[in-house]
Structure 1
Amino acid sequence: MVFQIPEPGGSKPENRFEFELKSKTYSIPKAEYLSSDASKFLEDMSTGKISDVGFTEYIRILFFKAEPKLPKALFEGLSRDQLTALRDAWYAASKVTTGESSASESS
């Protein structure tokens, strides 16, 4: 029997993070269910393969890679503190921690 690849976990409602902006609800996959494109972006940013684009642009790129169907103008006009709050809420819903670097583990 041929193995059938299951639907991605990020497509299931329970694996998505919902947020509201301007009275409309949007959602993106929680961090553990990101697409390979979004995961690669995170990895490339953390390893320096992509130059630092700045915090605001980082959040925009990450969310659009996580959910390409988001309206391109969605985050226009949002301040840094609003984007930080959105990122933090997404992290919390995703149960993501920043972890500890290998250098700090030995100190």
Structure 2
Amino acid sequence: MQMLYTLTFLTEQAMVDPGGIANWAQDLMRRTIGPLEQAFMEIRCPDGGDGGRREDFYYATHEQIHPTGMLSVVANLTPWSDHNQSPCNMYQCQVL
């Protein structure tokens, strides 16, 4: 038995985290993207890396605004986060 689900975002802020804010590649328009939509997109980080994408699929449709855009505001406020060996600032983005 197959079931169909319809997912509706009621407002712009519904189910959106800071990592969901991306640049649209064609017209550079900022749009908010929900986490359910992110799983099916190719989002490039502006640091220039390939983000672990396969070689046969290199085209990214979206781009993050900032390399730490996937983290929440609280995780970005962690002092010296680049030098912290503990991954706790990665977990902070989902705690709030």
- Give the TM-score taking structure 1 as reference length: 0.28
- Give the TM-score taking structure 2 as reference length: 0.30
Q: Which has the higher helix share?
A: 1
